[in-house]
């Protein structure tokens, strides 16, 4: 089917510019696109492949070797200098969420290696994406080790397969693009940092733009080929511009003054490490090439910083990403002020500010025409107030005007963060929460205790399920049979070999048959014991008995510490609160731990204590999740003092959670204690953890920094 044209996309200027910059210079490091569902993330990425120049490959090579410079380590090589070649479009390879490590990097055919004595390598998706685009949808749902493989290959330009002492290497240079929905949870900050650019997108907030999106989509569905033909001129102009920018790129010069600006911005913004400086520099060079200039300007640095920095300042893994765009503006202003100060470098190693030839700093729009291609007769309306195409106050310097740039009067930031106005106070911020929209007790806000802030989280004790699971979800919490980990045995493979072979067991099977050679039916695969992620379901007492301000602060700090622990162990989380006369599922099971932090921040207390209702709601939630995912094991964490002043005795409903691993965090305090939480833990068959013992013991020795 004819793909949707890249230039027909309405708005999303920062996203389109980021993709085009990585097409010009893959060394920028790829693009991560964050956005809610239905915001054309996949559409734009798939459309990019049609703009890339065709590649010349060695005929018959499964690894897309360049005839002019074939890979000397190509498994299909070596290729002679006069190898026949063919031209083909750049590949667009999509990596599914359920892909295995063997499918990604390729694998050795162990059956043929043992039976025939030959080394047969089956290429993976990295080989197919060489010199093209590797698109990973829902990259935040991929297992961590697969994301590590992708980012390592993208950084090194090579894929490496090791299996039983035999290694295979091949070139794997591709344009990496990942998309994700923040509602499904955030990837590790360390992994987000490995993407060169991160752009946040959202639906248009202006009626004309939304109407234009629908108009174009309906026209495309009615006649894909005819719709695409209307944008042929615009697509060709963008493709030619990519080629022209690639030709200019090697000649682009980064003046010392702009390099100093980049260093000052990164220092003022408080990023860690040097990757941010390098990415901003590469992005600024690509921007200059995109605009047809051979010298980087201050505006190139500013635009590069807005694309490359907002996601790199997260100091806490549960901080919402990109919530400090104002801080970036301040950092840019500080860098500008610093450049105007006299240089006090006695050695002159960096050169005085402004030394060496420098590009103009006026920051005006540049490029051959100052606007993008116009390939359609139904270009949307343009605003006359000078606002940028993403609804911000800054001008559009992307050079992507034209049919795709309907002005969106949106509240969405241009890059790297959540929409404006959506930021909520963190748990530790101490800001008052808004009114509770779902007061289960039906009481007025005046009768409730105000929401209190948590203290600084600590390292919580490890809570785990003692029984072994099936390892359906890679994680770090509970023991399970998994694809990775220490070898604890062997088994007959179910169909194709799923993991590494267990050679001693394979040889024993052959000897048992009395054979002198190993046959494929003798193969045994290794059984690994690793760790899996769980569903951690928090059942929190929010009744009046927990309403003492100091006490609730301690409880919220404990829950926040457990939330952070669940994030680090790759768990899904859910939260149920009970007060008044009923329980409420305030957070359905999700991978978005940040949402859990925000819900915890607004948690209010007051009313009676329907503990039994909380346990029933937990049992119903677990039953629903088991129908969706039978392999994920639940761990229920009940945070209560054990008092039940509303509803039946909680001990009578404990059988509803029979067979479910549970921990009761005893919040009872004071000189006189009733031991009700211990009674509940006994009925649930759960471990009892006093609140003041939830913090893990500090290590006796620490490694030197």
Model confidence at 108, in pLDDT bands (50, 70, 90)? Answer: low
**80: pLDDT confidence band, cut at 50, 70 and 90?**
confident
> Strand, helix or coil at 326?
helix
pLDDT for 392 beyond 80: no
For the segment 464-521, what is each residue's pLDDT rounded down to a tens digit? 888 888 877 878 888 888 777 788 888 888 877 776 778 788 888 888 888 877 888 8
75 and 128, same domain (yes or no): yes
Asked whether residue 460 is domain-assigned, the answer is: yes
The C-alpha torsion from 8 through 10 and 12 to 18, rounded to 10°, is 10
Report pLDDT digits (tens) over 565-618: 888 888 989 999 998 889 999 999 988 887 888 888 888 888 888 999 999 999
Same domain membership, residue 540 and residue 689? yes
Identify which of 518, 515, 535 has the alpha carbon closest to the alpha carbon of residue 587: 535
Same domain, 451 and 598: yes
C-beta separation of 174 from 130 below 8 A? yes
491/469 Cα distance (integer angstroms): 17
Is 556 part of any domain? yes
Query: Which residue among 163, 180, 197 closes a domain?
Result: 180
275 is catalytic: yes
Taking only the tens place, the pLDDT of each residue in 363-384 is: 333 333 333 433 333 333 333 3
State the DSSP H helix or E strand holding residue 217, giving kind and residue range, or none if neither: helix 207-222
**Do 454 and 600 sit in the same domain of this protein?**
yes
Output the CA–CA distances (angstroms, integers) from residue 508 to 118, 491, 505, 523, in the order listed. 22, 12, 5, 10
CATH of the domain at 49: 3.40.50.300
Say if residues 539 and 637 touch (Cβ distance below 8 Å): yes
Please state the domain count of the chain. 3
Cα separation, 516 vs 523, in Å, equals 14
What CATH number is given to the structural domain containing 448?
Answer: 3.40.50.410
DSSP code, position 409: -
Q: What is the pTM of this model?
A: 0.67
Residue 568's domain comprises 427-464+534-693
Residues 546, 502 share a domain: no
Q: Is residue 299 part of a domain?
A: no
Read off the pLDDT band of 401 (50, 70, 90).
low
Q: Which of 158, 275, 476, 678 is catalytic?
A: 275
Of 138, 163, 180, which one is at a domain's C-terminal end?
A: 180
Pair 546, 662 in one domain: yes
Structural domain contains residue 613: yes
CA separation for the pair 321, 319 (Å, rounded): 6
Angle at 594 between CA 606 and CA 17, to 5 degrees: 145
Q: Is residue 453 part of a domain?
A: yes
* Contact status, residue 557 vs residue 454, Cβ threshold 8 Å: yes
Q: Are residues 460 and 585 in the same domain?
A: yes
- Whether residues 55 and 163 share a domain: the answer is yes
Q: Where a domain ends, among 153, 180, 207?
A: 180
Q: Does the structure show a pLDDT above 50 at 157?
A: yes
Residues 630 and 666 both lie in one domain: yes
């Amino acid at each position: 089917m004819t793909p949707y044209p890249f230039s027909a996309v309405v708005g999303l200027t920062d996203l389109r510019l980021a993709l085009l910059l990585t097409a010009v210079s893959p060394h920028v490091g790829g693009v991560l696109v964050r956005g809610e569902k239905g915001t054309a993330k996949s559409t734009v990425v798939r459309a990019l492949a049609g703009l890339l120049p065709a590649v010349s490959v060695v005929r018959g090579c499964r690894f897309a070797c360049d005839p002019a410079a074939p890979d000397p380590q190509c498994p299909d090589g070596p290729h002679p200098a006069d190898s026949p070649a063919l031209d083909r479009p750049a590949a667009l390879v999509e990596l599914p969420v359920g892909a295995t490590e063997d499918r990604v990097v390729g694998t050795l055919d162990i059956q043929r290696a043992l039976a025939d004595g030959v080394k047969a390598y089956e290429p993976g998706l990295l080989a197919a994406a060489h010199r093209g685009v590797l698109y990973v949808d829902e990259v935040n749902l991929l297992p961590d080790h697969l994301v590590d493989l992708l980012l390592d290959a993208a950084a090194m330009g090579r894929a490496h397969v090791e299996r039983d002492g035999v290694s295979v290497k091949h070139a794997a240079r591709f344009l990496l693009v990942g998309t994700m929905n923040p509602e499904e949870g955030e990837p590790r900050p360390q992994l987000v940092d490995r993407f060169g650019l991160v752009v946040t997108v959202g639906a248009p907030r202006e009626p004309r733009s939304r109407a234009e999106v629908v108009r174009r989509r309906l026209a495309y569905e009615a006649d894909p080929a005819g719709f695409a033909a209307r944008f042929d001129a615009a697509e060709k102009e963008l493709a030619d511009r990519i080629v022209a920018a690639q030709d200019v790129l090697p000649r682009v010069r980064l003046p010392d003054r702009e390099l100093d600006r980049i260093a000052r911005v990164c220092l003022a913004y408080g990023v860690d490490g040097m990757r941010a400086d390098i990415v901003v520099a590469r992005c600024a060079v690509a921007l200059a090439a995109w605009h047809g200039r051979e010298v980087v300007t201050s505006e190139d640095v500013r635009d590069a910083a807005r694309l490359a920095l907002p996601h790199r300042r997260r100091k806490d893994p549960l901080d919402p990403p990109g919530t400090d765009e104002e801080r970036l503006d301040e950092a840019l202003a500080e860098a500008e002020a610093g450049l105007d100060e006299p240089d006090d470098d006695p050695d002159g190693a960096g050169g005085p500010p402004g030394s060496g030839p420098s590009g103009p700093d006026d920051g005006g729009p540049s490029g051959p025409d100052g606007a993008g291609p116009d390939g359609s007769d139904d270009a949307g309306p343009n605003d006359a107030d000078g606002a940028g195409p993403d609804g911000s106050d800054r001008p559009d310097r992307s050079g992507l005007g034209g049919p795709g740039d309907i002005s969106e009067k949106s509240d969405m930031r241009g890059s790297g963060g959540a929409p404006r106005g959506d930021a909520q106070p963190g748990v530790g911020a101490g800001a008052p929460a808004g009114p509770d929209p779902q007061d289960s007790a039906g009481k007025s806000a005046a009768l409730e205790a105000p929401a209190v802030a948590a203290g600084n989280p600590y390292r919580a004790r490890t809570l785990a399920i003692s029984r072994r699971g099936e390892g359906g979800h890679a994680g770090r919490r509970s023991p399970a049979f998994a694809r990775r980990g220490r070898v604890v045995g062997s088994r007959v493979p179910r169909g194709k070999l799923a993991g590494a072979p267990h050679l001693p067991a394979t040889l024993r099977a052959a000897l048992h048959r009395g054979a002198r050679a190993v046959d494929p039916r003798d193969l045994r695969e290794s059984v690994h014991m690793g760790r899996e992620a769980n569903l951690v379901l928090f059942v929190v007492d929010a009744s009046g008995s927990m309403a003492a301000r100091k006490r609730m602060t301690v409880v919220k700090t404990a829950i926040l510490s457990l939330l952070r622990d669940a994030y680090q162990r790759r768990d899904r989380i859910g939260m149920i609160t009970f007060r008044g006369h009923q329980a409420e599922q305030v957070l359905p099971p999700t991978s978005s731990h940040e949402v859990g932090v925000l819900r915890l921040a607004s948690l209010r207390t007051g009313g009676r204590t329907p503990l039994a209702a909380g346990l029933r709601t937990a049992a119903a939630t677990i039953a629903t999740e088991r129908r969706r995912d039978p392999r994920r094991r639940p761990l229920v964490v009940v945070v209560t003092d054990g008092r039940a002043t509303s509803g039946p005795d909680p001990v009578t409903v404990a059988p509803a959670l029979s067979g479910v691993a549970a921990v009761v965090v005893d919040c009872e305090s004071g000189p006189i204690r009733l031991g009700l939480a211990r009674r509940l833990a006994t009925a649930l068959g759960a471990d009892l953890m006093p609140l003041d013992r939830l913090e893990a013991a500090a290590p006796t020795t620490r490694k030197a920094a």
